[in-house]
Chains A and B, each alone.
Chain A
Amino acid sequence: MIALLRHMRYVLSENPVTLLAFALFAVLVLAAVLGPSLTPHDPLATDSTRALQPPSATYWFGTDQIGRDVFSRVLVATRLDLAIAMAAVVIAFVFGALGGAAAGYFGGWTERVISRLVDTVMAFPLFVLAMGIVASMGNTVGNIVLATGIINFPIYARVARAEANIRRNAGFIEAARLSGNGEARILLMHIVPNILPIMAVQMSLTMGYAILNAAGLSFIGLGVRPPTPEWGIMVAEGAAFIVSGEWWVALFPGLALMLAVFCFNLLGDGFRDILDPRKRT
């Protein structure tokens, strides 16, 4: 553990970019937790007399078509966007890790069925699959999470399967088997915990992808319901105002979206460096 921490410090000092990512992450988490209590204006309050005002000292990011404060909305949306991505990734992670590990560990029919399932999902154009799921089940937060989870599931299942496959005949598994553990218990207590670190890297990378995916769904109108603030919807709505010169309506939520995804991608890279055994020398 101490070795890991020391290695972490080494990687961070070697890699200023990862440090930046951690700082960004802290800001995002703060915004998600405290955001709603920090807003200078009510993010839902409309006022047609102050519609489409450019950024100013009062309205830092300007106001939108019906006079809502863009800054407050961007800030408040952090929680929802992160929550959607997090929930989707957790779903993909749990099902992917269990399914993939079982496939890799048991082999045979289990592997065949799960691999087919993974292949089938992969053969879909993933974004269109997500669109289809949300369109046919209705655009609620739950369904957006589910759709995003499903399209991320194959990545986890593949990684978990490969890792479990390598370990199924390893010494410590043999030992567990000889001491009378059941197969299911071995899978849950020995295989899954062992592949968690590798999956964690995936989690951070797919968080970014999940945020983008949710935003894309919003962009074509399959996002959360108005007036709930969400970055993707705000970009989509703001798109109509770019040409008429009200660039702030789309730009700021777009930037927030980009920063969040950027942060998770860099973090994923950073985690990989930290966990990469070849670097740990």
Chain B
Amino acid sequence: MKRRNFLKTTAAASAAIAAPAIRSADAQSRAETILVVVESGPNSMDIHGVGTTFRSYGACWNLNDRLLTFGRKTLSDGTLSYDYSKIEPELAEDYNVAADGMSVTFKLKKKAKFHDGTPVTAKDVKWSLDRAVSVGGFPTFQLKAGSLEKPEQFVVVDDHTFRVDFLRKDKLTLPDLAVPVPVILHSELYKKHATASDPWAMEWAKSNVVTTGAYRLEKWTPGQETIFARNDDWVGGPLPQAKRIIMREVPGAGNRRALMERGDADVSLDMPPKDAAEIKAGGKYKIVGVPVENFFRYVGMVVTMKPFDNPKVRLAVAHAVPYEQMFEAAVYKRGNPMWGGAGKPTTTDWPQPFPYKTDLAYAKKLLAEAGYADGFETTISIDMGEATVSEPEAVLLQQSLAQIGIKTTIEKIPGANFRKAMLEKNRPLHLASFGGWLNFPDYFYFWSYHGQNAVFNTMNYKNPALDKLVDEARFEADPAKYAELMKGFVGISMDDVPRAPLYQLYLDVGMQKNISGYTYWFHRQLDFRQLVKG
């Protein structure tokens, strides 16, 4: 080594030695930190970005504020949940719907500041909402669901007053301003990072987030961990208790369970139903499970493919599904049964059991009537990403179908490819789930049964009669009429059997006994702001 190089190296080394004193000073005590373990973490810090995953919605929910949010209520078992019927201001001080019902005016909180100290103005709000309806993809879609479609709808009245003009009267408009998408961003800062080809600074926003939320992004290592630090100047609500949230990615479910049992982690998301059931029955930590609203898991049949184009075949399959066995062995009863209902919908409860049950003799008879007395061969497609549940389900279904003469092979599709496979609508028999954020049955049907044929209509199902009822229900304000319409389209889907619903699963979250305040949200992500440790 040359002498000069040696000197350089030692200089660098001594500079490094000086660093630790500063670093250990900011080491925070465990008591103020909540360690959350997840299977996989966020992939972007921009909820408007392309390909943003569910965990990113969770991160953005805590990092950002919206104009509105929902209130909270206590469920019958003592669990806290968001309250769909109570819309509350978050970044807004208050809001007033105009007398003609065609606009809403927000007063912004005067003390509201972005994480860098800049005050929030109505201009920021407009820029942020303009961005959401302009960038295309998921955010634009989601806002459209609440009739929020054009930048012209968003009006700056003065620095702290902001108005949204309605295109039409829509019961979803206000709730849609409280979903995770319409976040308020630091417009001046984002604009600085915009380019001619990227006017909304999407590139920069992937890993930078400067907003008003209850938590700041302290450190993010994609694929490993995300650290959130409390924003002590937050005005959106009461100051959260936890100073710091560390979200660590631990891919193995067994490892996550071990971490919880040994007390090394505080909260565990992505719990397999088996772990949830066992720990609920008497474990070292607690499980809070809430049935996921507007959701069920189902056996889907592509109605345009032989032999599933025959309703009798579909009805036969719906009566050959081993519901009880699947419920016990695959999801360990962590859900509500969706089978064994009455023939027609009698209530407006949603989701509600469908009128199918395991009855092999009846299924065999139906198959014979349909001209398939000797059965047929087909494929069951499942998502490998949820193999802990879908694989036992598929094997049990396979066994049961074999008894009525239907021979099946199981196709495991990697998580990333599953959506593409469903989009192709050529997987005759498949196991899948769907849930809608906005808790209305017509919203669920619009995505999963309607003839517009969205990705979630995995059965390629089209029935104009159903479409008409769903479309009418969308803008129906009268509850009695809505109930009639709802019973109508649910009834049609029961008669046509494109799906055999299995169960409405629980959203299970594991947490140590000293953690309280957990609240269920429709977006199914963890809200750090209500968590209390100790």
Contact = CB atoms under 8 A, between A and B. Distances in A.
A/B contact in complex, CB under 8 angstroms: yes
A237 B391 CA distance: 10
Given A48-B325, A48-B328, A243-B254, A66 B414 contact: no
Contacts of B398: 227
A239 interface: yes
A226 B258 contact: no
Interface in A59-110: 65-67
Contact of B329 (A45, A67, A221, A226): A67
B254 A66 contact: no
Interface residues of A, number: 21
A46 B257 CA distance: 26
B140 to A, nearest CB: 32
A227 B410 contact: yes
- Between B275, B329, B387, B411, the greatest number of chain A beta carbons within 10 A of the residue's beta carbon is seen for B329
Interface string B402-423: 0000000111101000000000
A239 B329 CA distance: 17
B278 interface: yes
A245 to B, nearest CB: 9
Interface string B253-265: 1110110010000
Contacts, number: 63
Interface string B70-105: 000000000000000000000000000000000000
| Chain B binding surface, main DSSP class | helix
Given A65-B329, A67-B329, A244-B257, A239 B391 contact: no
A242 B392 contact: no
Contacts of A227: 395, 398, 410
A135 B330 CA distance: 26
B474 interface: no
Given A48-B328, A240-B253, A226 B412 contact: yes
A225 to B, nearest CB: 5
A17 interface: no
A51 interface: yes
Interface string A93-132: 0000000000000000000000000000000000000000
Interface in B229-263: 252-255, 257-258, 261
B396 A46 contact: yes
A139 B412 contact: yes
B134 interface: no
Contact of A240 (B261, B272, B396, B414): B272
A237 B392 CA distance: 10
B399 A225 contact: no
Interface string A215-249: 00000010001110000000001011111100000
A221 B395 contact: no
A223 B388 CA distance: 15
A225 B412 contact: yes
Contacts of A237: 391
A66 B414 CA distance: 22
Nearest to A228: B410
A10 B32 CA distance: 71
Contacts of B120: none
- Between A45, A221, A242, A243, the greatest number of chain B beta carbons within 10 A of the residue's beta carbon is seen for A243
A48 B396 contact: yes
B262 to A, nearest CB: 10
Contact of B254 (A46, A65, A225, A242): A242
- Between A51, A225, A237, A240, the greatest number of chain B beta carbons within 10 A of the residue's beta carbon is seen for A240
B258 A243 contact: yes
23 contacts: A51-B329, A65-B329, A66-B330, A66-B392, A66-B396, A135-B414, A221-B384, A221-B387, A221-B412, A221-B414, A225-B409, A226-B395, A227-B410, A239-B252, A239-B254, A240-B253, A240-B254, A240-B272, A240-B388, A243-B254, A244-B274, A244-B275, A244-B278
Given A66-B330, A240-B254, A240-B274, 9 more contacts: A48-B325, A51-B328, A66-B396, A139-B412, A225-B411, A226-B394, A239-B254, A240-B252, A242-B254
